Amino acid sequence: MENLIQAIEQLKKEKNALIMGHYYQRSEIQEIADYIGDSLALAQQAAKTTADIIVMCGVHFMGETAKVLCPEKKVLVPDMAAGCSLADSCPADKFEQFVKEHPGYTVISYVNTTAAVKALTDVVVTSTNARQIVESFPKDEKIIFGPDRNLGSYINSVTGRNMLVWDGACHVHEQFSVEKIVEIKKQHPQAVILAHPECKGAVLKLADVVGSTAALLKYFVAHPEKEYIVATEAGILHEMRKKCPQTTFIPAPPMDSTCGCNECNFMRLNTLEKLYNCLKDESPEITVDPAIAEKAVRPIKRMLEISA
């Protein structure tokens, strides 16, 4: 493993590459990344990097977002099969039909979408800025929100809006078991429940703090003395443990508990070996149809402007 790490570092320097990683990546990938962050931070960082090559250790839509923002750069992903169940739950042709059926609606799409869906969108949001961006529109604005039904319903509930919400979901966040979380809370009554807004409403009702990965980390760093039940992909525990090794974290269990925690099988596809190979071969490379990229870049840039 040491040799692999050295070889990656060497290639990275030679090729002026930037390795970015999401908080849901395997620990060893988070450790080697030049930059780790949530979906918003990764897009912001991609937009301003001077590197020639971006290696996006995350899932496909994150690579696409970087490519759309930096068409002149080479954007690599260690494993092209690293998809996203949420993005898959919103095929562009079906979404286009839905948008056409609702003329006069502003289209707000979560970043977990394909570039083709972003091309049909007025403004992109991430879980960090969804509330802020929705609230930047007048109260009576007619809005379509896609594709996450849990995030959309949550934003409706905290803003008092009545957005039309697409019926999509993340296979990891949908899986957390309300009953098991209640049981753990009985045994650890002082534990703070942290939940990502992609979780089902019943889980969010139990949560003390609802937020994006970055927001949950921020809360936790401000209160490291507490005990935590964490309802999001378990990769985030790496950064939490690094920041506060003494804190007790209990990963919220999924309904089907063949494992004790919830991991995204797509995020886990990226490994150090694949990262090394992709830097060496400069492949697999993300490509986006220029006609789609031209349309998709506008709502992404609009998001970055609002979130600046």
Which residues contact ligand 13P by CB under 6 A? 38-39, 112, 126-128, 170, 198, 212-213
If DSSP states are collapsed to H, E and C, what string results for 219-237? HHHHCCCCCEEEECCCCHH
Residue 65 CB, nearest approach to ligand 13P (Å): 11
Q: State which residue, 151 or 275, has the beta carbon closest to ligand 13P.
A: 151
Place of tokens 């803003």: 159
Residue 128 CB, nearest approach to ligand 13P (Å): 6
Q: State the chain's maximal CA–CA distance in angstroms.
A: 58
Q: State which residue, 271 or 307, has the beta carbon closest to ligand 13P.
A: 307
Residue 156 CB, nearest approach to ligand 13P (Å): 18
d(C-alpha 261, C-alpha 246), whole Å: 20
d(C-alpha 5, C-alpha 234), whole Å: 23
Residue 204 CB, nearest approach to ligand 13P (Å): 14
Residue 112 CB, nearest approach to ligand 13P (Å): 5
Q: State which residue, 105 or 219, has the beta carbon closest to ligand 13P.
A: 219
**HSE-up (13 A, CA, CB side) for residue 41:** 14
User: What does DSSP assign to residue 77?
Assistant: -
Q: State which residue, 109 or 212, has the beta carbon closest to ligand 13P.
A: 212
Residue 139 CB, nearest approach to ligand 13P (Å): 25
For 97, other C-beta atoms within 10 Å of its C-beta total: 10
Q: State which residue, 58 or 284, has the beta carbon closest to ligand 13P.
A: 58
For 104, other C-beta atoms within 10 Å of its C-beta total: 6
Quick one: which of 39, 23, 53 has its CA closest to 275? 53
In this structure, what is the dihedral angle of CA atoms 259, 262, 267, 271, given to the nearest 10 degrees?
-40
Does residue 199 contact residue 227 with C-beta atoms inside 8 Å?
A: no
Q: State which residue, 8 or 195, has the beta carbon closest to ligand 13P.
A: 195
